[in-house]
Chains A and B, each alone.
Chain A
């Protein structure tokens, strides 16, 4: 997903001035990424949806404090991270829970594709999320931000409040681990997927 930076800056400025239409455009553009980011940290889908809502509401309320419109995406992720951390602290959510411990459906069932997405097999989707489950939280978040949200290393560094080198290192280690976990799909893709 590529975002035109000048459009983003424009929308953020307007939203900051009270334009709910502009904020809605920001929401539409970023909601799947934020939801996936939160979903990667919090196992229950309903809680992830709740926290996604809270993230955007909190962002709307705090917008006047954001000086640099260009930093909006990283800033939004930090709001989401803080909300997740608060939920964990209050005991409502557990991080690092194995996929099989989730109440209700196994992962992948609620992870239905949006209408614009390419046809990707449900099996692959489930396999990827299960593989992500097995990663340490920091690596998982970095992978979601980079591959699913299309964020640059700089933006991820802003979101995680760390150095770009650290982001690279997390992405690299995650890539190695995922290559092993997804080896059957990786090999399959040799056949020209």
Chain B
């Protein structure tokens, strides 16, 4: 009886071998995943410490077109300067640690805007993404280790080529949520430990400085509402893994009206939701809008802009004709526009009272769902 049940010896040995290999593999995978994340966080922190000089090529898919440029790079003490060239166009970008400064040589003007420097939440990133080492190569004549990051069971989102000696990322590829390659950067030459003088990161003396949007202070939602003077709506739906990072005050619109911006993150990707109250100068777009695409001109609806009315909202009941500017009657025009910019999509949405813009690297349906869950 026992003999009949027992596996023949060679099969048993094979099974044992397979099991051992499987066990070893799973340990290796675990260990390699952990070390892949270590390499990633290490590459982030060394980038802020190293002083380097180099040249790179970069390309980005913007909308339907690919833009590319070369840039000379200098970095030291956490500051970074990129001197770009694309065809005849030349411009520079400086990160001086607290602001981003765009230098426009033709206009001898520097445009400064806030660079929110938020602490990295590596724990959140590691909850939402997986990292693995996938191979080795050479970039700019230096040996590198290749690491990929993606959502579990999702397509690759980032691929980085990390210098074996310094851990610094010599090449990067970024894929959007639809799996498309949307940007790539590669160093063609690099030197580490080169002294870089600090005036490289300063604005040339006699240039004009335009400080756009100043501030950049982070608020909680309640405080943000007080700052902007209207109740900030928060989305009832959020894509999986995203948490609120903070709220910011912005000025936008034709007349520089105050807007509230909420920023969410899943540890690596960002989702920005900006909103402002409609006012004069905005068409009543609930019922009609000017747009391209030939769905017919609809400038329907009176100027409901001044009415705040009740928050009857878009929910179940109000299906009055779009002509009167209530709810979403028969399509007289679109209240929502989606733009695919490659590395992110933007949704502009005119709700009953607000102009809402949402930007993020998400599937179109998710973005629309977030938009409609506001208000």
Direct contact of A and B (CB under 8 A): yes
Q: Which residues of A contact B (CB under 8 A)?
A: 10, 13-14, 16-25
CB–CB A22/B44 < 8 A: no
Roughly how many angstroms separate A24 CA and B45 CA in the complex, as a whole number?
17
CB–CB A17/B44 < 8 A: yes
Q: A10-B38, A19-B122, A21-B123 are in contact. List 18 more A-B contacts (CB 8 A).
A: A13-B45, A14-B42, A14-B45, A16-B45, A17-B45, A17-B48, A17-B49, A18-B119, A19-B41, A19-B45, A20-B119, A20-B120, A20-B122, A21-B121, A21-B122, A21-B124, A22-B122, A25-B123
- By a CB distance below 8 angstroms, the chain B residues around A23 are 119
- By a CB distance below 8 angstroms, the chain B residues around A16 are 45
Q: Which residue of A lies closest to B117 (CB)?
A: A18
Q: Which residues of B contact A (CB under 8 A)?
A: 38, 41-42, 44-45, 48-49, 117, 119-126
Roughly how many angstroms separate A14 CA and B48 CA in the complex, as a whole number?
11
Roughly how many angstroms separate A18 CA and B38 CA in the complex, as a whole number?
15
Roughly how many angstroms separate A25 CA and B38 CA in the complex, as a whole number?
14
Roughly how many angstroms separate A14 CA and B45 CA in the complex, as a whole number?
6
- By a CB distance below 8 angstroms, the chain A residues around B45 are 13-14, 16-19
Roughly how many angstroms separate A159 CA and B49 CA in the complex, as a whole number?
28
CB–CB A22/B41 < 8 A: yes
Roughly how many angstroms separate A53 CA and B190 CA in the complex, as a whole number?
43
- By a CB distance below 8 angstroms, the chain A residues around B41 are 14, 19, 22
Separation in Å of the B105 CB from the closest CB of chain A? 32
Q: List 18 A-B contacts (CB under 8 A).
A: A14-B41, A14-B42, A14-B122, A16-B45, A17-B44, A17-B45, A17-B49, A18-B48, A19-B41, A19-B45, A19-B119, A20-B121, A20-B123, A21-B121, A21-B123, A21-B124, A21-B126, A22-B41
- By a CB distance below 8 angstroms, the chain B residues around A17 are 44-45, 48-49
Separation in Å of the A61 CB from the closest CB of chain B? 12
Roughly how many angstroms separate A14 CA and B122 CA in the complex, as a whole number?
10
- By a CB distance below 8 angstroms, the chain B residues around A24 are 123
Roughly how many angstroms separate A163 CA and B44 CA in the complex, as a whole number?
38
- By a CB distance below 8 angstroms, the chain A residues around B44 are 17, 19
Q: Which residue of A lies closest to B47 (CB)?
A: A17
Roughly how many angstroms separate A10 CA and B38 CA in the complex, as a whole number?
9
Roughly how many angstroms separate A23 CA and B123 CA in the complex, as a whole number?
10
Q: Which residue of A lies closest to B127 (CB)?
A: A21
Q: Which residue of B lies closest to A23 (CB)?
A: B119
Q: Which residue of A lies closest to B123 (CB)?
A: A21
Q: Which residue of B lies closest to A24 (CB)?
A: B123
Separation in Å of the A59 CB from the closest CB of chain B? 13
Separation in Å of the A60 CB from the closest CB of chain B? 8
Q: Which residue of B lies closest to A64 (CB)?
A: B78
Roughly how many angstroms separate A23 CA and B124 CA in the complex, as a whole number?
13
Roughly how many angstroms separate A19 CA and B44 CA in the complex, as a whole number?
9
CB–CB B120/A21 < 8 A: yes
Interface centre among A14, A17, A24 (most CB of B within 10 A): A17
Separation in Å of the B52 CB from the closest CB of chain A? 16
- By a CB distance below 8 angstroms, the chain A residues around B49 are 17
Separation in Å of the B339 CB from the closest CB of chain A? 32
Roughly how many angstroms separate A22 CA and B120 CA in the complex, as a whole number?
9
Q: Which residue of A lies closest to B267 (CB)?
A: A21
Separation in Å of the B120 CB from the closest CB of chain A? 5
CB–CB B120/A19 < 8 A: yes
- By a CB distance below 8 angstroms, the chain B residues around A19 are 41, 44-45, 119-120, 122
Interface centre among B48, B49, B122, B124 (most CB of A within 10 A): B122
- By a CB distance below 8 angstroms, the chain B residues around A10 are 38
Roughly how many angstroms separate A60 CA and B179 CA in the complex, as a whole number?
37
Roughly how many angstroms separate A10 CA and B41 CA in the complex, as a whole number?
10
Roughly how many angstroms separate A22 CA and B42 CA in the complex, as a whole number?
11
Roughly how many angstroms separate A17 CA and B40 CA in the complex, as a whole number?
13
CB–CB B48/A21 < 8 A: no
Q: Which residue of B lies closest to A17 (CB)?
A: B45
Separation in Å of the A5 CB from the closest CB of chain B? 16
Q: Which residue of B lies closest to A10 (CB)?
A: B38
Roughly how many angstroms separate A152 CA and B38 CA in the complex, as a whole number?
28
Separation in Å of the A169 CB from the closest CB of chain B? 40
CB–CB B117/A21 < 8 A: no
Interface centre among B120, B121, B125 (most CB of A within 10 A): B120
Separation in Å of the B116 CB from the closest CB of chain A? 12
- By a CB distance below 8 angstroms, the chain A residues around B48 are 17-18
- By a CB distance below 8 angstroms, the chain A residues around B122 are 14, 19-22
Roughly how many angstroms separate A25 CA and B123 CA in the complex, as a whole number?
9
- By a CB distance below 8 angstroms, the chain A residues around B38 are 10
Separation in Å of the A108 CB from the closest CB of chain B? 33
